[in-house]
Structure 1
Amino acid sequence: MDYQTFSPHPDLSSLIKCYWTLEIPKASFYPRQRIVPDGCMEMAFILEDEIKRYTSENDYILQPRSCLIGQITEPFFIEPIGFVKTFAVRFYPYGLIPFVNVSIESLTNKETPIQNIFGNDLASALEEKIIKATDTEDRIQIMDEFLLNLLHKKSTVDQIVKSAIDTLMNSRGTVTISTMIGNDKNIRRKLERKFLKTVGLSPKKLGKMIRIQTALQLFLDQKSNNLTQIAYESDYFDQSHFIKDFKEFTGLSPKQFWKDEGMLLSTLFYKNT
């Protein structure tokens, strides 16, 4: 697996975490890959053979050639059926809304063809340019230009939401909403509505995702089975709380995690975040 990340145009860097590419050679067998939530949304382009996304144990759909992948609240499975070559944009949690006119919440847990987001003519022209581009550098230039043109026509991110998310990210998901805004129920409800509109998740859910990302990165970097230490370094109160969140977002226990070949792709993403 060859996974690489690239920086966007400086004027997009507050909204886009990175561009990334993935290439996986064709093989006779691929284990299904478990994709876990990370709090980010993505626009992805499949440049070679198609990819299955399982909707149940045996049923699957083929991912669109070009699509927006909304917030993921639970793990799902994909399976390559040939040569994988993908180019994608990874948005920060609040980074997609300045570019689209659709409900962010409506994109949750699914892939939406970009034609449904940007209109058939604009989206199809972008898809053709990305697929026909000669290399990654050209694709980045095409995507920079496309997103900058959209950005100039759209509204900016709600600064209250951005500030709250920045606080969650800087604290690794440990700061509570009550700590940020107090106990006023009306203010809390207003912030939650803004989050759903901007991010597609509640503040609490996003905070848990950011927190478990910290733990997963420690887990991968240290290659340690000392769950108590990892829980402590991730600011969990105890090991059981850590294991509960770990299972919620990966579908596995920490012990199962190391043995699961289906985590190879997610592990690659996390180790290079």
Structure 2
Amino acid sequence: MPKIDPTARVENPAGLADDVEIGPYCILGPDVVLKAGVKLLSHVNVQGVTTIGARTVVYPFASLGTAPQSVHYKGERTELHIGAECVLREHVTASTGTAGGVGVTRIGDQVMMMTGSHVGHDCAVGNQVIFANNAVLGGHVSVGDFTFLGGQCAVHQFTRIGAQCMISGLTGVREDVIPFGNVLGQAGKLVGLNVVGMKRRGYSKAEMHEARAVYRDLFFGEGTFDERLARVREKEAQSPFAATVLGFIDADRKRPLCQPSRGVIKEE
């Protein structure tokens, strides 16, 4: 049987696994599903069509699955899916999707969201992503696996952030960020690659050298960006890093690509 504090309110027919723990003063709506081992510590609000994956822990005053912050939302039945083994700290917020978007907001497995961080409607957050305090995503943002979002960074709606990126604290991101990108500044610019993250993920020196070479060719080579992009395509078959970056660029070119301040290469 789930362990439910007597001060909590759980509306039927919410679906609770047998070993769920719901602490004091939590409120759950009727369409909430909590998978095995989920813990809501206290004062957690979970509404909407929301599923929380196994062994995820939610800290006090988090609010999940409430209506999207969109003027176009008219009460449609949309969803929030949170993965397994996540840690959502105090005052974290995440909205359901919108009918005009994909209809679902998704947060992957083993995601850590520190105090005050926010995932807007229709976002897709990958696995093992870390949000530092007050990092926020606008609607329709996608974030790749293993990315780190620094404290009080803000990501503009419809922006894509590739896998294994580093977004520095206080950074505004309004353009798509290539995989492995390191972004810094109020109007965020690339300042190199997330070499620290690559080392932690076990990339060899040869792989990081290859990544730097592609980065230089794409952003600091001769000619226009499209001409440099064409030259990088020639390396696609021999360079996994080039293939990853090109795949990201080709997947969606609706928004501009975040680029370095011209002439600046940060070495790690």
The alignment's TM-score, normalised by the length of structure 2, stands at 0.26
Greater per-residue helix proportion = 1
Give the structure, 1 or 2, with the largest relative contact order (CA under 8 Å, sep 6 or more). 1
The alignment's TM-score, normalised by the length of structure 1, stands at 0.25
